[in-house]
């Protein structure tokens, strides 16, 4: 309808320059009726194109839309003829409604209406393919997220039996020699497993909660190794509320004890450092290394890398280095320092 005002004004100016008698209000009515008729016909065309869009490979449908112009121009002329009587440019007035004026209205606007019909058809197809493209992209994103979520659940499920098997193996070595210690380890193990079950299927937990689980695991290892295990903590207060994938640190601590401390006759130490630096949560697990350990399957390290990739893409890093000269090893995890309040506020658009 705003377009009808512009076209009516342009026609008025041209008629004035040609010294024709024209009344602006009447001209506005004529073009308003014409474009209103087009407006009424546009939604049905969009509906048809949305349901049956044409393509270059489907010539039959393209031909049907080309033939569809004939009923379109007939309907346009009929609606225009019903709204207002035909406009007679020769006299500058409205003429009578009759079958002849209806036919004259149809073929006199043939070219103009054809151009508008093509514009509507192309606009409907552009809209339809745009919406379909958006829907397909959303479907791909949902599928990708679903696959990533399934992979994350699989990775987490892989950790639990691995952790359980290694712990039970440690308990079995103490059953005959230190039954009370073995019993205490089983009680502590039961508490840890209950903690894992309570955490549910969420991917991220506060670092404070993750460290509580690590402390429980270190208590288990301290029962097994006794004075051979020394633990040092350096946790910055501003890091405790930052979110981290649950059960991410335990495999790294387990790796440090199994391959770095347990093989040493005199034992060793492990240090856990966590802090927020430049908007990132940095967690470092350092441990002493002495003697040679049997190479493992690296389930923990591979699992950590995979989970960080699925959850953070390129926004997280994991590094592991072993210094033979200083007899130390360092596992370093760097993730965005999101807090639970930030996620609840909608500043994080979903992990994974």
Three-state SS sequence of 259-275: HHHCCCCCCEEEEEEEE
In whole angstroms, give the CA distance from residue 126 to residue 106: 28
In the prediction, which pLDDT does 301 show? 81
pLDDT exceeds cutoff 60 at 156: no
Query: Is residue 285 within 8 Å of 271, Cβ to Cβ?
Result: yes
User: Taking 70 as the threshold, does the pLDDT of residue 211 lie above it?
Assistant: yes
Tell which wins on pLDDT, 142 or 162. Answer: 142
In this structure, are strands 328-336 and 280-288 parallel, antiparallel, or unpaired?
A: antiparallel
pLDDT band at 224 (very low <50, low <70, confident <90, very high): confident
Residue 159 in this model has a pLDDT that exceeds 60? no
Better-predicted residue by pLDDT, 13 or 346 = 13
Fold of 173-344: Heat Shock Protein 90 (3.30.565)
Q: How far, in Å, CA of 105 to CA of 77, rounded?
A: 6
Residue 258 DSSP one-character state: I
pLDDT of residue 341: 62
User: How far apart are alpha carbons 73 and 45 in whole angstroms?
Assistant: 13
Give the pLDDT confidence of 281-294 residue by residue, as tens digits. Answer: 999 999 998 766 55
Instruction: Report d(CA 166, CA 115) in Å as an integer.
Output: 76
In the chain, the percentage of residues whose pLDDT exceeds 70 is 82
| Confidence bin at 6 (pLDDT 50/70/90) | confident
Average pLDDT value for residue range 192-198: 68
Identify the pLDDT of residue 239. 92
Split at pLDDT 50, 70, 90, the class of 349 is very low
Give the pLDDT mean for 17-30. 78
Query: Residue 207: pLDDT above 90?
Result: yes
Q: What is the pLDDT of residues 87-109, one digit of tens each?
A: 776 666 777 888 887 888 777 77
CB atoms within 10 A of CB 99: 8
| Residue ranges matching CATH 3.30.565.10 in the chain | 173-344
pLDDT in tens, 25-35: 878 888 888 88
279 vs 165, higher pLDDT: 279
Rounded to an integer, the average pLDDT of 246-250 is: 85
Is pLDDT above 60 for 154? no
* Residue percentage of the chain with pLDDT more than 90: 24
Rounded distance between C-alpha atoms, residue 34 and residue 112, angstroms: 11
CA distances from 105 to 21, 73, 190, 309 (A): 21, 10, 88, 67
**pLDDT tens string 250-275:** 889 988 988 888 888 888 999 999 99
Question: Using CA atoms, how far apart are residues 254 and 300, in angstroms rounded to an integer?
Answer: 8
> Residue 43 pLDDT more than 90?
yes
CA 6 to chain CA centroid, Å, is 44
Position with higher pLDDT, 190 vs 271: 271
């Amino acid at each position: 309808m705003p377009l009808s005002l512009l076209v009516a004004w342009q026609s008025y100016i041209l008629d004035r320059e040609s010294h024709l008698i024209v009344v602006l209000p009447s001209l506005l009515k004529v073009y308003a009726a014409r474009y209103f008729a087009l407006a009424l016909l546009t939604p049905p065309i969009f509906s048809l194109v949305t349901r049956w869009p044409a393509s270059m490979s489907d010539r039959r449908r393209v031909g049907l839309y080309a033939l569809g112009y004939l009923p379109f121009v007939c309907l346009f002329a009929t609606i225009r003829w019903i709204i207002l009587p035909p406009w007679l440019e020769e006299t500058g007035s409205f003429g009578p409604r009759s079958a002849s004026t209806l036919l004259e209205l149809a073929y006199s606007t043939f070219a103009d209406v054809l151009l508008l019909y093509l514009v509507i058809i192309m606009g409907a197809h552009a809209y339809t393919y745009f919406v379909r493209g958006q829907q397909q992209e959303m479907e791909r994103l949902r599928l990708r997220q679903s696959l990533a979520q399934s992979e994350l659940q699989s990775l987490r499920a892989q950790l639990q039996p691995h952790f359980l098997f290694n712990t039970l193996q440690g308990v079995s070595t103490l059953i005959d020699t230190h039954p009370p210690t073995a019993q205490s380890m089983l009680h502590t193990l039961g508490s840890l497993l209950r903690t894992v079950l309570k955490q549910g299927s969420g991917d991220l937990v506060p670092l404070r909660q993750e460290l509580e689980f690590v402390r429980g695991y270190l208590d288990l290892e301290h029962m097994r190794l006794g004075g051979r295990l020394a633990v040092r903590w350096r946790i910055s207060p501003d890091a405790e509320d930052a979110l981290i994938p649950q059960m991410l640190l335990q495999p790294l601590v387990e790796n440090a004890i199994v391959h770095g401390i347990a093989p040493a006759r005199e034992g060793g130490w492990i240090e856990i450092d966590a802090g927020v630096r430049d908007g990132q949560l940095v967690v470092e697990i350092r441990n002493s290394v002495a003697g040679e350990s049997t190479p493992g399957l690296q389930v923990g390290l591979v699992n950590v890398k995979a989970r960080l990739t699925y959850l953070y893409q390129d926004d997280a890093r994991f590094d592991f280095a072993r210094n033979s000269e200083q007899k130390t090893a360092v596992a370093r995890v760097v993730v965005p320092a999101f807090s639970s309040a930030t996620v609840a506020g909608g500043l994080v658009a979903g992990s994974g």
